[in-house]
Amino acid sequence: MLIILDGLGLRDTRENNAFRLARTPTFNRLFKESPWSTLDASQEAVGLPAGVIGNSEVGHMTIGAGRILKNDLVRINDSIADGTFKDKGEIKNILTYVKDKGSALHLLGLVSDGGVHSHFSHIPPLVKCAKAAGVEKVFLHAITDGRDTSPYGGVDYVRQTELALSEIGIGQIATVVGRYYAMDRDRRWDRTERAYRMFVSGEEEKADSAVEAIEKSYSAGVTDEFIEPIAVSDNDGEFHNIAPDDAVLCFNFRADRMRQICPALGSGDFSQFSTLQSPIRLTSMTVYKDNFDFPVVFGSQSIEMKFGEVLAQADFRQLRVAETEKYAHVTYFLNGGDENPYDAEERVLIPSPQVATYDLQPEMSAYGIRQAVVKAIDDESCDAIVMNLANTDMVGHTGDLNATIRAAEVADEVLGNVLEMVTRKRMVAFVTADHGNCEVMVDEETEREHTAHTLNPVPFVLVNGASDMHLRTKGSLSDVAPTILDAVRLPIPNEMTGSSLLES
């Protein structure tokens, strides 16, 4: 069994460390009695550039692949650096479409340097491509972050972007909206609809500049993630919505939080709310979903012999359990970007609570996950279980220390309940995390709430292993799958370049 506690990193200091401040009897016992190690979950250890925090997509992809993958951020950066970016076929195609129509190109995505869903350094190269192709109208729909970056960093990212556009000589910001609305992934369609209506009709609040819009939100106590949809006028007082003959290029490279807004804009069979116009031409930076028919700039990487694939070939009955906020992580991402389950792979989805922010319900759906997993173990209906507890990540993102302490305590409680059943059934379990978050709740430099992931290592604990099984003291997420396969006496495929951390 593999248990992933999302966003639980390790840091010695207790101050503003929700994990260390929480009552965690289960972890206290595990760290005292069980073999455990620490794993690097960020930067080069998971295929990201130096200094870039880990994230849930990359963490689960790395765990499932059993090797370090070339992350989409790195793929795009390399393409820009070596000059092949401008020659990408689908970039050329969308620019040709816009030029032939005499219409506008709209760039839509998260404007920050978080490197989790996007990177704002990719915007200028796109605008330069448009200018070189003779496109005259380029508009940016800026989604503000505040979750993978400082809650107040958006205004600086927008200023830097506006300066870059000014230097290129083309392009302007047409709208501003927080990711809470434009990047919902949990089927809260009312949020998605507000962003959609602003993009295509200019409904919602108006502002004379993007910086003004953001600063006004700050003054009202609204941080980047929660900025309400705002249409921004140009110097002539005109607003630039997405018109039927226009085209949209979504430059986010992570899939899960673009799966609601993109079909609303570009799919003919979208039915979650009433759309205001026919589907527009839309291109995505990467594959957002296998059954989307949008053109894609960077196709999926082929990953052979993944963790779940090896288990399936060994006829293991698999169970994947998570709540909706993390459902894609234990399925799509863990399976290397493949939507389809393996043979004998069952998936259990527990709805996340319908609250505005998870500090209001830090328990989230952990108890529902516990019930599903304990029942499956007791029934002996599966051979391999992967479960994700979202609490320490999703509540950690709110910046509320007390709520995140509660989240850590709930996760520890549920972990203890599950491991009790694991022990009763004489199963072997591994406990880890995909990246850090809850262990840093205040930014030391700004002394404001810290809502982003961290560079800290994560735990890796062996539970109920043979008495002669021990773990090397240091590894990375790419070592998780090889270690588990080694523990259950399955061969580690050559494609997995991670190492088993088991020592006998």
Question: Catalytic positions, please?
Answer: 56
SS percent in the chain: helix, strand, coil, step 5: 40, 15, 45
Which residues does 304 contact at the CB level (< 8 Å), separation at least 6? 493, 495
| Beta strands per DSSP E along 154-277 | 172-178, 205-207, 230-232, 247-250
Neighbour tally for 12: CB within 10 Å: 8
* Alpha-carbon torsion, ordered 152, 157, 158, 164, to 10 deg: 170
Q: How many helices (H) and strands (E) are present in the chain, helices listed first? A: 17, 18
The span from the CA of 436 to the CA of 440, in Å, is 8
Question: Which pair of structure tokens corresponds to residue 125?
Answer: 């190269």
Whether residue 7 contacts residue 392, with contact meaning beta carbons closer than 8 Å, is answered with yes
Whether residue 411 contacts residue 391, with contact meaning beta carbons closer than 8 Å, is answered with yes
The dihedral region occupied by 62, where left means phi > 0, alpha psi between -120 and 50, and beta the remainder, is alpha
The span from the CA of 236 to the CA of 238, in Å, is 6
The span from the CA of 207 to the CA of 487, in Å, is 59
Measured CA distances, 50 to 47, 71, 252, 316, 414 (Å): 9, 12, 20, 37, 34
Strand-pair category, 429-432 with 2-5: parallel
Pick from 425, 419, 108: nearest CA to 294: 108
